[in-house]
Structure 1
Amino acid sequence: MILKKLLLILVPLLLLISCNEEKERDTDLKSWIPKNSAYILKSNDLNSFLTKIDSLSFLKDNPHLVSTAIKTQLKSLSGFFKGPAIVSFSTDSAGIFHYTFLAQGKQDTIQIDTIKNKSIETFKYEDFDITKYTLEDISFFTSFNNEILIASNSRINLEKILTEEENNDNAILNQVLNAADPSKTSLLINHKLVDKNIEDSFSNFLLPIQNIASWSVVDIDLEGENIFLNGISTWKESEISILSNFKEVTSQPNLLATVTPSQCSWILFFYLQ
C-alpha cells in the first residue's frame, strides 16, 4: 500500500519535471541554438547593426566577407522581429552554409500586405509546421514554438533543429553568452568548428591559429568607419589550446605595429614572457 502511494506521488512529480524541462527549452532562445554552430551573433537591434555594416568601406572593399544573400534575408527577418535576436551560422556535412535566426514573436508579426511579389507555402509535420516565405527575391523558412521564431535559409536545417531531442545545454557556450555585453552586438566563435572548416577548405593552411581556445566572445562597436572589438576567450583545462600558455602572462604593450608596413593586411602577434 505504501509503495502504491509513493508511486502515485512520484509519477505526477516526474511528469511535472519533464514538462518544465521541455517548457524551459521552448521559452529560452539560446536553447534553440544548433549544436554545430561555428559563429553566433547576438544583438538587441540586429537590423540597425546590419544597416551600419552596409556603410563600412572595409566591407564594401571585401564583399566576400559577408554573404549578400544571407545579409539581405537577415535584414528582412530582423525588420519584422525587432528586439533581441540570436543568429547562428553553421556548415552541414555537404559544406553548405546555413544560418538560424532566433527571436521572440508570433507568426502574424510577418506583415507582407504591402509586398507585391510574394508567396507562402506551408509544410505540415507531426509536431510542427514549417512555412516558406518568398518575398520579392528573398526567401526563408520559418517555424514557431511557444512564441519563439526559428528561421533559416534551409528547410532541412529547420527540420533538424525542431526534431532534436536534447537542447543545446553547453556550459562553456552559456558562459560566453553571459559574458557578452547585453547592450552591444556580440560575436561568439566556436574555435573547434572554425578550425575544422579551415582544415576542410584549406588543407595547406599554415597560419598558427588552430586550437586558440574553445570559445571566444567579441563585443562589437561601430563608430563611423571604425570597428572596435573587445572580448575574451575560454577553454577547458583538459584541452590543448594556444591561449592556455598565456594563463600567467600579464598584459603587455604591443609595439610591433610601429614597425609594421602600412600596406600589411593584418598582424598575428603573440607575447611570451
Structure 2
Amino acid sequence: MLTVTLIRHGESTHNVLALWSGCTECPLTERGMQQARAVGAYFADTEFTKIYASPLPRARDTAKAVLDAQSTPKPPHDFTIAQIREQSFGAAEGHQTCIREPGKTLEAHFAEEKYPILYESERHVAFPGGESVEDLTRRGERAVRDVVLPHVVNVARSGRDEHIALVSHGLCIAQVVGAIVRLGGGTWKRKGPMVNTAWVRVEMRIQGGIPVEVADDEVPPVEVTVTEEGRADHLEGLLDEGPLCGMKAVMGGGAVDAKSSSDAGATSTAQTSAS
C-alpha cells in the first residue's frame, strides 16, 4: 500500500492580511512556525519514505519542520516540487481579496485592481497573468504523474509499503487529492476549508496481488481511499490564538461555491493506465 499524507503550510504573512498569495514568496508568521513545529512533532513517530514540498517558502519551511522532527536517519526529501506550488493568481497577488460588486463585470474589477473571489462556475477564469482552476487541475494531475506514480510503481513491484508526505497549499492539495482519487476511477470534493497545517491522507492499495510487473508510466489497478480529511489535532494548544486561516482557505481551487459540499472521503476501484 502507498499512503500519501498531504499537509498544508503554516500561517503566512499574506494569510493574516487576507491577501491573494498564489506564487508570491511570503514567509511564515511566528505563529505559522509554531504550527509547523506542532505538525512536525505530531508526525515524529511516522516513518515517511520521502518528504516532498512546494518550493514556496511557507511550504518549504513547514516541510523542514516536519523533516527536523523525524528520527535519524532522516528520510530523503525534495523541497523543489514546482507542480505542487499554489495556484498562480497573476496580477491579483499581493492585493486584498474582496467580494464582487453587483452589476460590475470582472474586467471592470480588474481595471480597478480589484480581484474578487471567483464562483465555482468560473473554473475556466483566471486573473490576468494567472492560472484558472482548470489550469490547476491539470497541474495537479502532472504532480500525481511525476511524484506519486513512481511510488505506486515501486510498491507494485516490491510489495513493500511506502508512506510519502507532500507539503503544499490548500487549493493545490484539493486538486492533487482529486487527481489521486481519479486514478481509482472515483471522484472527490473536499468537505470544507483546510486550516493552516491541517492534513489529508489517501491510501492506494494495489489490486490483484503484489508484486506485479508494471511499466514506469503505467498505473496498476488500484483502490483509492481518502481516510483522513482536514485533520488538525496538533493545533489544540494554539486554537485560542486567533484565526487559523486566511480568506484563501475558504475557496475551492480559487473559487467559492454557494453550496457547501457534504461529500465525505471517496473510495474507488478500477483498472487504469496513465495517459
> When the two structures are superposed, what TM-score results if normalisation uses the length of structure 2?
0.27
Larger Rg: 1
Q: Which has the higher contact order (CA 8 A, sep 6+)?
A: 2
Q: Between Structure 1 and Structure 2, which shows a larger proportion of strand residues?
A: 1
> When the two structures are superposed, what TM-score results if normalisation uses the length of structure 1?
0.27
